Structure 1
Amino acid sequence: MDVRMYTVGMIQENAFLVSQEGSDEAVVVDPGAEAPKLLAALKEHGLTLKGILVTHTHFDHIGAVADLHDATGAEVWCPAGEADTLRDPNAVMRWQGFGPFRGYDPEHLVRGGDVVSLAGFDFQVVSTPGHSPDHVTYALPDEGAIFSGDVLFQGSVGRTDLPGCDHGRLMRSIKDLLDRFDDATTVCPGHMAPTTLGQERRTNPFVLDLLANGTGA
């Protein structure tokens, strides 16, 4: 597997281009901004975009979705419970200094337990709400990687002070990931550097408290 991370936009969000080694097909996870940068990366590496995967619909994760679709024709997979936000992001994203954002009506709605087969991969969809109401994680267990959006970060977790957030649900989602996948699993997060589940199990204060007390507070 070949994973390339591009940090984009004012919020410094991580978009990932994912392809099989030697393949000319790719998937992008969470293209949050800077569509020209991502299109240039596709061209540089000789990749054809076959799909756009969205973990959740906060503006910093969807800002380039419509532009990438227009340029490549790639279809979009979005959490079912957040599709309305992707269709009309400006109705709910009123952040001073950000936007307006282009909406997009996704071709595919995903739920926990689904499998998305694209570019030679079978992405398992894991329901991981808490940071947003219907957040999902895209997992490739055979490749030892998860694309976790804003669930788990290096030394931290997703914020839960936004509308629709729920700290308890977020911590249960993190516990589910720890239970499902082994410690060697690489976490490709929506912000900051990649990490592993094992590193976070050993060093992340929120995870340590979750495992000790069941709260992650």
Structure 2
Amino acid sequence: MAAGRARLAGVDVRCFTVGPVAENCYLVRESSAPGARALLVDPGDEPDRLAQAIDSLQARVEAILITHCHFDHIGAVAPMARKTGAPVWVPAGEQHVLADINSYVPWPGFGPFESWQAEHTVVGGERLELAGLTIEVIATPGHSPAHVSYWIADELALFSGDVLFRGSVGRTDLPGADWNTLLASIRALLDRLPGETVVYPGHMGITTLERERLTNPFLAEIAR
């Protein structure tokens, strides 16, 4: 699976597309220097590959952030938490899923995965100081009941999970999902955050909020 690199003003972001449904896991470092402090966002699969990348980059992972608890975003949480010793931050309303992953895999042929008891929960509105970065937690339900996104204002970076994609949006045919709630979450992001915000989604390519406002066909209801 592909891995990519993006440079923000002072932060190094590495994207690792992992697993059978091509989920994007992000390693976010305060700089590209060896030994730099880092966050890991949504480690969904391929823990050995992620561990090798962390070792190769000499990154010091200090926190693991989860946008939501669908299996493709949390399948590698347990091995990565154990390897790095980093605490896990998870949406409070979905903490029970991480604690019992295999009971919530909706289709056969995936897993088994190892469950994990998260050290911290978030609901939206928190301001986290982690790995040298200031991260605001934004509640963005709709794709899943307690979905959150992580906003690094100083870097104009949004880790959107499965709320907003390049040219698409999160599906709403899964348990606890709701189309109108999803649209409201996206509308709030578009209204509140700068258009030049870089969106790092849970699947597909990196984009910006302005690009999606102007070109995303699923947002026509918001444009009206």
Residue aligned with 2:93, SS: helix
Q: One-letter code of the match for 2:15?
A: M
- Structure 1 counterpart of 2:165, one-letter code: F
In the TM superposition, residue 72 of structure 1 has moved relative to its aligned partner by: 1.4
Q: Distance in 1 between matches of 2:109 and 2:149?
A: 29
What stretches of structure 1 of length at least 5 have no aligned partner?
A: 213-217
Structure 1 SS opposite 2:149: strand
**Number of aligned residue pairs:** 212
Partner of 1:148: 160
Does residue 1:7 correspond to 2:17, yes or no?
A: yes
Q: Distance in 2 between matches of 1:87 and 1:124?
A: 24
1:102 aligns with 2:114: yes
**Alignment-mate amino acid for residue 71 of structure 2:** F
Q: Report SS of the residue matched to 2:137.
A: strand
In the other structure, the counterpart of 2:128 is 116
Letter in 1 for 2:146: D
Instruction: Give 1:194's aligned residue.
Output: 206
2:194 to 182, 194, 201: 182
Q: Map 1:1-217 to 2 at 5 A.
A: 1-21=11-31, 22=33, 24-212=36-224
Give the Cα separation in 2 of the matches to 1:150 and 1:92.
17
Where does structure 1 differ by over 4 angstroms across 4 or more consecutive aligned residues? Answer: none
Could you tell me the TM-score, scaled by structure 2's length? 0.93
Q: Distance in 2 between matches of 1:206 and 1:91?
A: 31
What letter is aligned with 1:63? G
Q: Which residue of 2 aligns with 1:215?
A: none
Please report the TM-score for the alignment, with normalisation by the length of structure 1.
Answer: 0.95
| Unaligned runs of at least 5 residues, structure 2 | 1-10
